[in-house]
Structure formats: structure tokens, C-alpha cells
Amino acid sequence: MRFQFPAWLGLVCVCGIVSCGNTEENPIDGPTQISLEAPDYFPGNIAMPADNPLTEEGVQLGRMLFYEKKLSSDGTVSCGSCHQQQKAFSDGNQFSFGVNDSIGDMNAMSLSNLHWQNKFFWNGRAATLEIQAVQPIEDPREMNLPIEEAVNRLQADGQYPILFKSAFGTEEITPELIGKALAQFERTLVSANSKFDAWIRNEVELTPEEKLGLELFFTHPDPKLQLRGGNCSDCHLGFLTAGDPNGIAGFHNNGLDSEENLASGLMEVTSNAFDKGKFKAPSLRNIALTAPYMHDGRFETLEEVLDHYNDHIQNSGTLDVLILEASNELPNGSEAVKLHLSEEEKKAIIAFLHTLTDQQFITNSKFSNPFN
């Protein structure tokens, strides 16, 4: 049986850009509200936070704070140290280095299309982007600076009180306003100009290998129907290729470890044993640029990732049912969980994943370090 494109995937989008959020009339001398530009095939039902609308001044301030090294205890680390634009705002390390060569225990997630995500960090411990944005400042393994000291440093700087005044109407800097400014800038990190996007817009054709990879990516296998699939989009959904933004539905145990070796994951937040070993399914946008992979950076290549899903799934009590039931061959009753993709199929999926690379995103001067 031939692959049937999901109905949503068959909708070819012509307009290309729509706005998320409203642009309102600005008060005299107030910040200039702007809309978030995004393709019309991205979800349009995600509202901008009412208490943190996007403004030119807020985004400018947030960009500066994102690259501001004085927000670290020794003045050597910024958000941009672990989230580098040329690597799609990841850093290429298994674990990131903070101040005094301290090292974390999670891989730095790529940053893109954050407006359409929630429950931030691998274990979902931050409910909003505003909350997430300030936590690395105080983390002893990252920037290791008490937030009160961060406020004091910015307040004592000649330019920042003026910039906060322009963005938020007050020269009094607070942790909440730091988080709001950073969140505004991070929401503008929209990646939507890859070859995949050009294909969606009917501007280019995919190669036969890339098209096969796309078909496999978006298909849940069903050997009874002779329907072959890679099972990728069960967790990496839609045009965003990202986890489900609705609560904890976007967290999965993807079979990395056996029961006795499961990390806590989402269970750290929910205290529910059913959530042990579950981590956030990240967006796969620009995935070819963001190695190593998984929450602990254990895989160095996309080939290793595909080999894991194909042959090395570890069963446990919380293994995602979408993985447990996914196979391109009928079960024989005793076989371990395997996807049974051919080498040709694995190469095709990787070829498709390379179409998600957005060169404009990683070179856009609006996202670059303003201090360089």
C-alpha cells in the first residue's frame, strides 16, 4: 500500500507569513507593539501572553540580555554561550560548560519556534518561557549568579535602566522584567525557511530519497496494511516537527534505558511514577546542526539515533505505547521492540531531516550577538 499524506500535510500554503498576536495602537512614548511573523501553516491558536506583548523595544532589550555576560558570576558566560546561532542555538557539546568550567548533566536544547511550545527544559520544570529564561542565571552549573545580583548589575549599568524604561515603562529592573525581555527575544527565533518549508510553499521539489524520507517520517507503520513508516511524527508533530504543546502530552519515554536505569525525567516535576524516563520531544528543525542528540547527548550522529529506534529500544514500564507498538514487521511473540527499517529507509529519513536545515535562521543578523 502506498503512503497516504495526512490531510493537514496536503494543504499547500501560498501566503507564507501570518501574524501571531495583535498589533495595537501604541501609547505616546510607549513601546511599539509588533506581531510575530510566522508561516500560515504554523498553528494559529497560540496567543501571545497578555502581560508580555511583543514590542520592538522588548525584543531589542532581550537580545542584549541573551548575550550579556555580566549575568554570570564571573562575567564569562551568557545565554548565547550555550545557545549559539550557527548551531541553531545549541552548542555542540554533550553537556554545556558554565562558569569556572562547571558542567551540567543535560544537553543544551536547540532554540527555535518557542512560541508554539510550553513546559520548558527537558523535564518540563518551567511552565512558561518567561520563567525558563531566568533559571539558568541562578543555576550553579550555568551562570551561577543570584538573581538579585543580576538585577543590581544591570541597574548599575548606564544603559540598561534606559532600555528597561523604553521596553516596560520603568527604570526599576526586576527579575520578572528580565524574564519578560528574554522571552520576547526568544519568541522571535522563528525557523521557517528550510528546504522543507520551500517544498510546503510549492517552491521546490524534494529528491526521490528526501520524499521517501518524508513519507516514512510522517507514517506510523502498520504491517497488516503493508504500510511502512518511521514512526517519527507520532512524537515530533506536524510542520513544526515538535512535541505536543498541550501539557505533558509532549513528553515520552523513547526507550533509551531499561527499567533499572531510567532517569527521573518528567517525574521530577509531577512526582508521578508513570512519568519516569519521560523527556520533552524537541523540535527537529535544524536537527542536522544540533548534534549530539537526546537529553543526555549520548548519540553523536543521526545514524546512531536511527539505529537506536530501529534496533536498540529498551523496554520498561513507561515506554511510550507509540514506540512499543511500532514495527514494520508483524510481531512473532517474543521479539524485542524493533522498527525494522531497511538501510535504504534509514538513509532516506536522514536525507529528509537535512531538509529541515534553515540557513537563513542561523545567519539572520536580528538574532546575532549585538556586542560583536
Q: Considering only 1-15, 47-61, 91-105, 282-296, which range has the smallest mean pLDDT? A: 1-15
Q: Tell me, what's the pLDDT at 331?
A: 82
The full set of domain ranges for the chain reads: 18-191, 195-360
Average pLDDT over residues 160-183: 98
Q: Tell me, what's the pLDDT at 28?
A: 55
- CA dist 301 and 298 (Å) reads 9
Q: What is the pTM of this model?
A: 0.93
CATH class of 18-191: mainly alpha
Average pLDDT over residues 254-282: 97
Which of 23-27, 44-48, 348-352 has the largest mean confidence? 348-352
| Beta partners for residue 103, in sequence order | 97
| Beta partners for residue 293, in sequence order | 299
Average pLDDT over residues 58-80: 98
Above 90 in pLDDT, residue 298? yes
What homologous superfamily does CATH list for 195-360? Cytochrome c-like domain (1.10.760.10)
Total length of the chain: 372
